[in-house]
Amino acid sequence: MNRRAQSRSSGLLLSTAAALLVLVLFTQLPAAAGPRGYLKGAMAPLAVATSGFLSWGGGGLAVLGDASRLRSDNQRLAADNAALRRHLAELQAAGVENADLRRALAFQKSFGHRLLAAGVIGRAPDGLTRSITIDRGRADGIRIGMVVASGAGLVGRVSEVAEHSATVETLVDAASRVNSYTQQSGLEGTVIGEGGPLAMELLPRPGVVVAPGESVLTSGIGRLFPRGLVVGQVTRFYRRDSATVEQADLAPAVDFAAVSMVLVITDFTPAAP
């Protein structure tokens, strides 16, 4: 029984060794070159397809990675741009406030009255009243009728007072009237608010004309305003030879849409209107 099993094992071993020898000879002998070439040709399309698939997959992954990085970079740049725009707006606002402060300080040094600084905290929402709200009120000694100026010139008069705020009727309000004079030509008249630009009615003098660009200042007549506050500049003068009143258009000295700080004149008591 044992001899029979050993014989079968020996036969299997010899058969395996012979098969291996034949395989080696087949792959190395020149006669096997044709079959080897055929086998390689048959496998070539599969190799090319496999290589192309791997290359496409790698390229696709690279494209997806690049797109993700681009999206991330774009988001970061957009955030940086928004931050820069906010910073620029803050700097511009600070620049306007600093300019207002410098003009106010220079005006305070040259003007012969006591002044109380106030911040602008509101503007009239409609286009009729043309008023502003300041952060000073009754608790600060503010009273109705007080004159309000800025470093650039006349702003208007206090029309309403609360405990910690006040409303200022500006120079361009339709109800505003300011006795004024032209600085160079010396013509006197009244500046009238028209809701935006200003008009001036002038008392004519023979041979006297007003040039564009000429400054207009408060005259002090009627004691509603102290003398010498800048009202605006003449943009156009209407000459009428036989008229009893001549007219001019004025640009206000103060930009009421942008002014951020004003000065309340506390030691000037205006006459009753």
Per-residue confidence (pLDDT) for residue 239, from 0 to 100? 78
Q: For domain 115-265, say whether CATH 3.40.30.10 is its number.
A: no
Alpha-carbon separation of residue 188 from 135, 177, 198 (angstroms): 34, 13, 15
Specify the DSSP element, H or E, that contains 141.
none
Per-residue confidence (pLDDT) for residue 70, from 0 to 100? 77
How many alpha carbons lie under 13 Å from residue 176 in its C-beta half-sphere? Answer: 34
Cβ neighbours, 10 Å, residue 145: 15
Q: pTM for the whole thing?
A: 0.61
Compute the distance between CA of residue 172 and CA of residue 249 in angstroms, rounded to an integer.
12
Token pair, residue 19, equals 């098969």
Tell me, what amino acid is at 84? L
- Nearest Cα to Cα of residue 179 among 160, 197, 154, 162: 154
Please, what's the largest Cα pairwise distance for the chain? 154
Compute the distance between CA of residue 269 and CA of residue 161 in angstroms, rounded to an integer.
16
Task: Match 């206090």 to its residue by tokens.
Answer: 158
Compute the distance between CA of residue 207 and CA of residue 241 in angstroms, rounded to an integer.
9
Q: Please state the domain extents for the chain.
A: 1-110, 115-265
The sign of the torsion formed by the CA atoms of 54, 60, 62, 65 equals: negative
Helices and strands: H and E segment counts in the chain: 2, 12
**Per residue of the chain (273 residues), what is the pLDDT tens digit?**
444 544 554 554 455 445 544 444 444 545 555 554 454 455 455 444 445 544 555 555 555 566 777 777 677 666 656 655 654 555 455 555 556 655 655 655 556 678 899 999 999 866 556 899 999 999 999 999 999 999 899 999 999 999 999 999 999 998 899 999 999 999 999 999 977 779 999 998 888 889 999 999 999 999 999 999 999 999 999 877 667 889 999 999 999 888 888 999 998 888 876
Compute the distance between CA of residue 175 and CA of residue 195 in angstroms, rounded to an integer.
9
Cβ neighbours, 10 Å, residue 219: 20
